Structures are given as structure tokens and as C-alpha cells.
Homo-oligomer: A and B are copies of this chain.
Amino acid sequence: MKPRVELLCAGSELLQGQLNTHLAKLGALLASQGLALSREATLPDDRSAIAGALRSALSRSDAVIVCGGLGPTFDDLTREAASDALGAELRYVPRIFSRIKARFKRLRIRLPAENKRQAYVLAGARALDNERGTAPGQLLSLPPARPGGPRRTLALLPGPYRELRPILERDVIPFLRKRYGRSSFTDHLALHLGGIPESAADEKLKGLVAKAGPGLSFTILSYPGQVDFHAYIRGDSRRSAEACLREVRHEALAAVGRFLLWEGDSPLEAEVGAALTRAKLTLAVAESCTGGMIAAKLTDIPGASSFFLGGVISYADGLKKDLLGVSPRTLARHGAVSKECCKEMAEGVRARTGAEIGLSVTGIAGPTGGTASKPVGLVYIGVARPGRKAEVHELRLSGSREFIRARAATRGLQLVLRAALRRGK
């Protein structure tokens, strides 16, 4: 049986505009361990709301993970809410407070009195060391919800991801796998497609998708410029899961293989990096409207220096001339957002950095700055390579500034991927 794992995130700020990245990160991490989340809830810093949500979650799930609300401050109420929900006492653990004191001493910060709250642990719970912060995690084993069912698990984890992740990986996941995960193996297929709309991908894949059932599920997702097909597979043995995956992959590629950009869980920028490295090519960028987004994505990847040299953010026209060598005549005659300027930017950044591939982007991201002949959303992307003329692609996008920039950055990376794959073969 697949365990039902639920996540609760505590924090009023998460309901009022603060981005919650925990759900995505924990969701991926847990799914990879055969512990996919069945549900998530975000709750305000309100003791009774957290306690109520905990009660419901524990009544229907095998394991509940609560993130946040273990800090020292007045709005950190997870400990108290869990105590309410379970009817379990909070007990002061002197050893934990000694650790907190030692940490503050090491960091040469005066210890505020509030931090003592972090040394209270639910009766019966195991305290989980936090190497990167003051609040320890807590792990509690609970009786089954129904007679004969599996024992339930409650884990309380600190909010900051850098503190939470080591505790989750070292203590919580192994515990959950041992308790619930032994008998099932999971696998995941991800195909990333370009040049096909979502509904067309759906039609081509519907024969395969109709085979969904226990142990096999599918999702189709569409992004600016891309459609992703995911299959999640569960089997009783690693062998049966792998055999099912091979079959699904074979059938999916027969249906949409010609639109395939890449396979697997790595993001586009990592795939670009791997393809450049395999093909022994280096890349430099000249970004105008994307303003550094492509470079920032590429340098997210550890070891990016082996394929990425850097480049120029030529937001102002002067920089297109001075740092990239775009001719004043081109700018005067065709403007900065033109096929001609884009070509010179790609060739210029290649020449000035010594990279094998030069990628350039120039466009009008809006919301203002458009004209009748050059509307908001007009974007040119250029790719310069050794021994052939630079190619320039024109995009006509609609939507917000954010959307136009994201789509242009994705398309730029896709074009480099294609160039690197062609060369790598």
C-alpha cells in the first residue's frame, strides 16, 4: 500500500503573498522516495487553525509533516497546536536548551529569552537535531487510526528549508520508508516536448493515458513554450516498476517522440549544460530584454564554469555598441529590436569572449515601449556558431512582461540545446 503523506505549512505570510517553495521542493523529494504527497494545506499562525488541520490530517493519513512555526517568536505556534490536537504535554528538555545556548555563544550573539520556548518537546516525541538552526525537529509515533491499520507518524520540522532538509533526509524519510515504504518501488518518466500545443499532445497520448490505473498515473503540463509529459509508476519490485517504465516510454515516444526536447528530471538549463559539456562547446550570452535571466539560470548549475563563460547584459543601446560591437549604423537603421541587431549581438559576444556559441536576445517585454510595427512581445533570438552564419528567430508573444521574458529565456535555452545536440552527434 502506498502511504498517505500529508504536508501542513504554517505561516500567515504564506497566505498573504510570501512564496511557498517548500511544497514544490518537499513534494519532489518525497515523491522520489516513494512517499508522494497526497495533499497539502497552508495555514495561518493561529493555534486553533493548526490544531484543527492536524486533527483532520491525522484522521485520514498515515504520516503528517508540519513545516514552520517552531521559531522562538510569538507567532510560532506549532508546538502548542500539536499539543492541543494530540492532548500531549509539552516537556522542557534541558539538553536542547544547552545546545541553543552553545550555538548563540559560538555565533557571538546574545541569547534572547524567547529562545527557551524552542526547548519544549511533545511527550513521547524524539527531538531531531538541527545543525543549521536553533529549533529541533520532533518525530512522534502514534497508534493506528483504525484497528489493524499501520501506526501513524507526526513530524514537526523548522520552517527554513536549509534547516529542514537535512533533518528530513537524515531522520524523517528513512523512518517513513522503513515504516511504510518497504514493499513498493516507484519510478518516474518525464518527457519535455517543444513545438506542440498541450491539447494536441493530449490527443496523441490519450491511448497511453487510458491505461492509467493503480500504480500508474500521468500528468501533462504546459509552460511558456513547452509541454511536459510525466508518468508515475509504482511496482511491487524494482524490476516490475522498471519494466513498466520501459513500456510506457516506448509507447510515449512512438506518439510524440518527434517533439522531444529532452528526458528526465533535470531542468532545461541543466540539460543545456550537459549537452554543451558532451559536445565540448562553450557558451556566452548577450541579453537585452531577458536582462541576465538566461545567465542566472545557467549559473544555478554547480560546475557551470565548464561550459559557460559569461557575457554581456546590453540593456542600454550604448552597451550594444561598446561591449558587443553592434554597428551604430545597424542601430540607427533597424533599431535595437531587430533581426540585424540580434545577429550582430550574437556574433559580437562570440567574438569578444571566445565562446563557440553566442546566444543573443533582444525584444520588447513591455508593458510600454511598443509601437505599431514593433509591438510589445516582439523578441529576436540569435545563435552564432563557428563556421556558419548566425541564425535569428523571431517570436511574437503576448502576455505580461514576466511571461514574455520567461518565454524568451526558455526559447533561447531550447535553441542552444538544439545546437549543442546537433553538434554532439
Residue A402 is within 8 A (CB to CB) of chain B in the complex: yes
> Would you call the interface of chain A mostly helix, strand, loop, or mixed?
mixed
Decide: A16 near B28, CB < 8 A? Known: A162-B403, A318-B309, A318-B353: yes
- Taking each of A19, A36, A203, A315, which has the highest tally of chain B beta carbons within 10 Å of its own beta carbon? A315
Query: 16 interchain pairs (CB within 8 A)?
Result: A15-B31, A15-B36, A17-B31, A38-B49, A40-B42, A73-B220, A114-B203, A115-B199, A287-B295, A288-B310, A291-B299, A300-B402, A311-B319, A312-B313, A312-B323, A322-B352
Q: Which residues of A contact B (CB under 8 A)?
A: 11-21, 23-25, 27-28, 31, 36-45, 49, 53, 56, 71-75, 109-110, 112-115, 132, 162, 197-200, 202-203, 206, 209, 212, 217-221, 230, 232, 284-285, 287-296, 298-300, 302-305, 308-316, 318-319, 322-323, 352-354, 366-368, 399-403, 405
Name the distance in Å between A120's Cβ and chain B's nearest Cβ: 16
Select from chain B the residue with minimum beta-carbon distance to A197: B109
Q: Is the CB of A199 within 8 A of B353?
A: no
Closest B residue to A9 by beta carbon equals: B40
Distance of A211 Cα from B75 Cα, bound (Å): 13
- Chain B contacts for A212, CB-based, 8 A: 74
A64 to B271, CA, bound (A): 40
Q: How many Å lie between the Cα of A309 and that of B230 in the bound state? A: 41
The CA of A49 and the CA of B13, in the complex, are separated in Å by 26
CA distance A319 to B49 in the complex (A): 55
Chain B residue at minimal CB-CB distance from A309: B316
CA distance A44 to B27 in the complex (A): 12
For A36, A43, A319, the residue with the greatest tally of chain B CB atoms inside 10 Å of its CB is A319
Known: A162-B399, A197-B109. A217 touches B318 (CB 8 A): no
- Residues of B close to A13: CB separation below 8 A: 219, 221, 230
Q: Which of A15, A27, A294 has the most CB of B within 10 A?
A: A15
A310/B302 contact (C-beta < 8 A), A20-B23, A72-B199 known? no
With contacts A40-B15, A302-B366 known, is A202 near B399, CB below 8 A? no
Question: B residues within 8 A CB of A24?
Answer: 14, 17-20
Query: In the complex, what distance in Å separates the CA atom of A309 from the CA atom of B315?
Result: 5
Contact status A39-B38, CB under 8 Å: no
Is there an interface contact between A305 and B295, defined as CB atoms closer than 8 Å?
no
- Assess A296 versus B291: contact at CB under 8 Å? Given A39-B41, A73-B220: yes
Q: Which residues of B contact A220 (CB under 8 A)?
A: 73, 75
Residues from chain B with a CB closer than 8 A to the CB of A17 are 24-25, 27-28, 31
List residues of chain B with CB within 8 A of the CB of A75. Answer: 218-220
Give the Cβ gap from A268 to chain B, nearest Cβ, in Å: 14
Which residues of B have CB within 8 Å of A296?
Answer: 290-293, 295-296
CA A401 to CA B112, docked complex, whole Å? 30
A398: nearest chain-B partner, CB-CB? B132
A117 to nearest B CB, angstroms? 11
CB of A194 to closest CB in B, whole Å: 16
**Residues of B contacting A352 with CB < 8 Å?**
322-323
Known: A295-B313, A299-B292. A318 touches B38 (CB 8 A): no
